[in-house]
Chains A and B, each alone.
Chain A
């Protein structure tokens, strides 16, 4: 019997597999089993938080593809999520279409708009691109308010309940599986994409755009592709959001949301899928952490009792971003990788 060490590979296929070692596969299975059985033992609030995390993870991955991988800063992400959410709302409540058509249409609609935005933005870089995309976000927000025949304007719009094969998903517990599956598919798809030709071209454009072009990458096509795929994913996230909330309103999709998503991928780690997941879950949990921390503080110092309010969350976001930029440029993913390496090499230090 051949003795296999952890770095021993027999084929190139083994080298590009998603889950490289048996242990990673074991941990993945344990993790998925825990997640899948969660509604049986978790409390409803936890389920709600995970549902929210799923939506956020999908949207964050979409943004990371554009900002982290391709290096094109975008402040229009909230607009693409909004387009997805409203497409789902209109198609499900007004046309009564089934969920999978609504979700794909949401993605498609966002992708079409993303492609249309990508083309004029081709020549813009850095701050100029940020300004252009931010203006686009504001425009979409205003269109949602003004076009009230279609979008319900400031009254908002209801999203029909989702039903799978005639079986309505009317509680957080039931939605949980739906969101989990869609999220898993998106993670898998993007993870695959970034390890193939297209993903490499994206990173090449981010690192050295002129060199990428001279090496044969059609920068124009790939930048537009990055915009399109990113907004497709954002559109899917919007659809998931609509189905989960049951009611959407233009105020859910302000430019602040875009900034929040940028914060997520910075905190999680730019240019990594795992980083987007970490960042999204982390930012969803931050308010909970702050709440717990404030209770703890109030317990220590009674004078602080009742001082906590939602505004502190915003301050905490800002503080977190500053801290991450200063101390951990690779984000949570960098921390995770270091922990992993030190375990892998134990008991040696490197």
Chain B
């Protein structure tokens, strides 16, 4: 079953075409990679899915419902979480607060019960704190849970950002270059987390990634973009031997 379907998506900024007639199908509980050279429109595609950009043509179906006219916060509420290419954490909040914010739409208490901080607001804070601890445990960031995010090293911040998205308990997770700027060891950690996210948490993962070795290792399906258009799709082994992809992105072996 298609979890997310993108139909003829076209995105234009003034005269510049960022995405052209892109079609893509993401099945439930698969790891789907979007690859391609810089400027191919990968992040633009993510921004369309999460509602930050409004495409000029086409449709995005999530569980067979169009999410095109929804606001970003509504799309988040439906269960689509994401991380960003350049870390977009709330720098002055602690790790716990960042993750709790990820659970924002699952809270029910409003400002009034917040002001009194008893009954529902208090119970909710504690219940969600428990859930957040599960994510902290999952990502092995116990040591930094009370640290202010802005003071943490880059690799850990990336992991906290992943945690913030996971705290939402999403059904689809969009990862925008989760391993950029990481060393081999950190990249392997992230790869392991992504596999666990798929298998243990049963979340569909769509990722933009430049580390081709990692992509080939863990993903189920690959979509290749170039200059805003889809040039290929298939399993990792099909993509590796696709002449179009080799020309545009992967390059010759020697």
Residue of B with least CB distance to A205: B90
Among A12, A192, A215, A229, which residue has its beta carbon within 8 angstroms of that of B129?
A12
Among A192, A200, A207, A208, which residue has its beta carbon within 8 angstroms of that of B104?
A200
Interface contact A208-B90, CB-CB below 8 Å? yes
Known contacts A15-B129, A196-B109; A216 and B90 CB within 8 A of each other: no
Among B73, B77, B93, B125, which residue has its beta carbon within 8 angstroms of that of A219?
B73
A210 to B50 alpha-carbon distance, docked (Å): 11
A218 to B77 alpha-carbon distance, docked (Å): 10
Taking CB atoms, residues of chain B closer than 8 Å to A200 are 93, 97, 100-101, 104
Cβ of A140 under 8 Å from chain B: no
Interface contact A213-B126, CB-CB below 8 Å? no
Interface contact B114-A197, CB-CB below 8 Å? yes
Known contacts A197-B109, A200-B97, A201-B101; A213 and B73 CB within 8 A of each other: yes
What 1/0 mask marks residues of chain B from 48 to 64 whose CB sits below 8 Å from any chain A CB? 00111000000000000
Among B76, B115, B121, which residue has its beta carbon within 8 angstroms of that of A215?
B76
Interface contact B73-A218, CB-CB below 8 Å? yes
Among B101, B115, B124, which residue has its beta carbon within 8 angstroms of that of A217?
B101
Interface contact A201-B104, CB-CB below 8 Å? yes
Chain B residues within 8 Å of chain A by Cβ, number: 43
Which residues 108-147 of B sit at the A interface, judged by CB distance below 8 A?
A: 109-111, 114-117, 121-122, 124-126, 129-130, 133
Total A-B contacts with CB atoms under 8 angstroms apart:
113
Interface contact A203-B90, CB-CB below 8 Å? yes
A147: min CB distance to chain B, Å: 32
What 1/0 mask marks residues of chain A from 183 to 226 whose CB sits below 8 Å from any chain B CB? 00000011011011111110110111011111111110000010
Interface contact A192-B116, CB-CB below 8 Å? yes
What 1/0 mask marks residues of chain B from 78 to 119 whose CB sits below 8 Å from any chain A CB? 000110100011111100010011101101011100111100
Cβ of B173 under 8 Å from chain A: no
Interface contact B104-A215, CB-CB below 8 Å? yes
Known contacts A189-B116, A210-B52; A215 and B168 CB within 8 A of each other: yes
A58 to B122 alpha-carbon distance, docked (Å): 24
Interface contact B117-A196, CB-CB below 8 Å? yes
B206: min CB distance to chain A, Å: 14
Interface contact A211-B89, CB-CB below 8 Å? yes
Known contacts A12-B126, A204-B90; A229 and B101 CB within 8 A of each other: no
Residue of B with least CB distance to A211: B88
A196 to B133 alpha-carbon distance, docked (Å): 17
Cβ of A271 under 8 Å from chain B: yes
Taking CB atoms, residues of chain B closer than 8 Å to A348 are none
Interface contact A203-B93, CB-CB below 8 Å? yes
A211 to B165 alpha-carbon distance, docked (Å): 11
What 1/0 mask marks residues of chain A from 227 to 253 whose CB sits below 8 Å from any chain B CB? 001000000000000000000000000
Interface contact A16-B129, CB-CB below 8 Å? yes
21 A-B Cβ contacts within 8 A?
Answer: A12-B125, A16-B129, A192-B115, A196-B121, A198-B110, A200-B104, A203-B90, A203-B92, A203-B93, A207-B91, A207-B93, A208-B90, A212-B90, A214-B52, A214-B72, A215-B73, A215-B164, A216-B73, A216-B104, A217-B101, A229-B111
Q: Which residues of A contact B (CB under 8 A)?
A: 11-13, 15-16, 189-190, 192-193, 195-201, 203-204, 206-208, 210-219, 225, 229, 271
